[in-house]
Amino acid sequence: MSRRLGLLAVALVVALLGTFAVFSYVNQVEAKTLAGAEPVDVLVAAQQLASGTTGATVAKGQLAQLVSMPRKSVPEGALTELDAVSAQSLVSDVFAGEVLLRAKFADQTARTGDLVIPKEQIAISVELGDPQRVAGFVVPGSEVAIFATVDGASAPADGSPVEGPLTRLLLPRTSVIAVGPATLRPADPDEEEEADAVAKAVLTVAVTQADAERLVHSTQTGQLTFGLLSPTSKTGPGTGVTNTSLFQ
């Protein structure tokens, strides 16, 4: 008899624990559901916003309005005010009714046609063959080092004129903003049409005025070679290489 009472007591305790566990689980689920359903105010485009529209323009023209949405439906990075992006512009179009996201805004850039030029910089294009542009691995967004090979007498490595050509780092790190299609050109303009042709492409970089002057001058007086950089690549000033110092 006492054994049966003990088993009943154990069963009762197990039942109570199970009931408590189910009750706790239901409460947690209900709490999460209520939290997800809690309304949150976010900014939504009142009309279609074109790429390039600044946050200040959106605020001044009242082109966005606060709308309440369930917290679980709000995308990550949704904006509730425009102060943080007032000086930035949209990187792509936003449709009416779309939530404004922080990731949609970026620092303003100058746009000429389809070419985006970083602020206060100049777009300069140069034509290079495959070897000089890393066999075509240089693409828009690449970071490159630019080397120039010029007459050593006009650009001495250590302050004194040298005989023969001089190769030296011209620009340590430059952004490529566009790459044109490759075309076949004669290896030498003076050669006959039957001569082997080489593939060349136009690469456009964004530089300051001072660097643009150096780049343009180098294209007119010498030859350029691009070196593709990684985030950990190291470049810096040097005396360059001449025929005399090549094997030293």
Taking the domains of the chain in order of start, what are their residue ranges? 39-108, 115-242
How high is the pLDDT of residue 209? Answer: 95
How high is the pLDDT of residue 144? Answer: 94
* Owner of token pair 């389809």: 114
Distance between CA 62 and CA 42 in Å, rounded?
14
How high is the pLDDT of residue 51? Answer: 77
Task: Render each residue's pLDDT in the chain as its tens digit; 248 residues.
Answer: 565 655 666 566 556 566 655 556 555 645 454 444 688 899 999 998 887 788 999 998 899 999 999 988 888 889 999 998 988 888 778 888 899 988 888 876 655 566 778 888 999 999 888 888 888 788 888 899 999 998 876 666 566 666 778 899 999 999 998 887 666 555 555 554 544 556 678 899 999 999 999 999 999 999 999 999 998 999 988 888 888 888 87
Report the CATH number of the 39-108 domain: 3.90.1210.10
Phi then psi for residue 17, to 5 deg, are -65, -40
How high is the pLDDT of residue 29? Answer: 45
